[in-house]
Amino acid sequence: GAVVSQHPSWVICKSGTSVKIECRSLDFQATTMFWYRQFPKQSLMLMATSNEGSKATYEQGVEKDKFLINHASLTLSTLTVTSAHPEDSSFYICSARGSLYEQYFGPGTRLTVT
Amino acid sequence: AQSVTQLDSQVPVFEEAPVELRCNYSSSVSVYLFWYVQYPNQGLQLLLKYLSGSTLVKGINGFEAEFNKSQTSFHLRKPSVHISDTAEYFCAVGKTSYDKVIFGPGTSLSVIP
């Protein structure tokens, strides 16, 4: 139980286009999900907290107009990278808060912007 | 504000030898402490966590960690490592067991055959 999936696992897009990453809690409902970003050989940095039915809370320094987060249901949160540029290339990981008050991480999505 | 320090960025160790990965944290409030492992190109897997109670916490894959409040440390140990333990290890701190966590910079463990 308590599985979090991400789709796609790997995406390549051209500079200037937008890409959407999905985070799903497969066997539990998650009112809160978190989005992290990880650069190569570095740690994870929290980008935003996503709450179902409300606006996401972004960490300082994260551009909310560039990284659009939508948490439309209790099992799905999406992160859209708008007008992507090569510097947005990174590993994006989501996590979801489960009913037993645990946090479960997804497998990550590797974004490469060419 | 909370922060996490992992003193060793890389730790090479021979197979079947013991290993300790160090983690220190700072916080003005009580915190929960976690160790996660990340294999190449994969997400995070929870190794163990300290929420309260016994300061010695046992996790998966033979790992254990000891919480030391006076030294604000939460070092990870394993008595005998395997090749399959080669991975990145992250110490993390959070205010609760389910809220956002602050990650340390990570320690790359390389097990040498």
Residue A37 touches partner B, C-beta closer than 8 Å: no
Cα distance from A17 to chain B (closest Cα, Å)? 24
Interacting residues of A55 by C-beta distance below 8 A, sequence separation 6+? none
> Can you give the pLDDT at residue B97?
65
B18 touches chain A (CB under 8 A): no
Task: Judge whether A40 is closer than 8 Å to chain B, CB to CB.
Answer: no
Residue for token pair 């000891």: B66
CA triplet B82, B88, B90: central angle to 5 degrees? 120
Looking at residue B27, what is its pLDDT? 81
Q: What is the pLDDT of residue B112?
A: 97
pLDDT band at A100 (very low <50, low <70, confident <90, very high): low
pLDDT one-digit tens code per residue, A14-44 = 999 999 999 999 988 888 999 999 988 788 8
Helix H or strand E segment including B100: none
CA angle, residues B52, B55, B56, in degrees to nearest 5: 125
* pLDDT tens digits for range A43-67: 889 999 998 888 899 999 999 999 9
A46 at B interface, C-beta within 8 A: yes
What is the model's pLDDT at position A31? 85
Residue in A37, A38, A97 with CA at minimum distance from that of residue A67:
A37
Smallest Cα distance from B113 to chain A, Å = 23
pLDDT of residue A112: 96
**pLDDT score of A101:** 61
Taking CB atoms and an 8 Å cut-off, how many pairs form between chains A and B? 47
Mean pLDDT computed over A70-79: 92
Q: Looking at residue B79, what DSSP letter applies?
A: S
Chain B nearest-CA residue for A93: B43
A21: which 2 tokens?
């990453």
Q: Which of B37, B56, B35 is nearest to B45 (CA)?
A: B37
Residue in chain B closest to A107 (alpha carbons) equals B43
Residue A79 and residue A94 in contact, taking contact as beta carbons nearer than 8 Å: yes
Mutate to test the interface with A, among B2, B103, B107 (most CBs of A within 10 A): B103
Q: Which two tokens stand for residue B14?
A: 């021979």
Yes or no, beta carbons of A103 and B90 under 8 Å apart: no
Contacts of B100 (CB under 8 A, 6+ apart): A34, A46, A49, B94
Q: How many CA atoms lie within 13 A of A112 on its CB side?
A: 6
CA distance A107 to chain B (A): 4
- State the average pLDDT over residues B5-25: 96
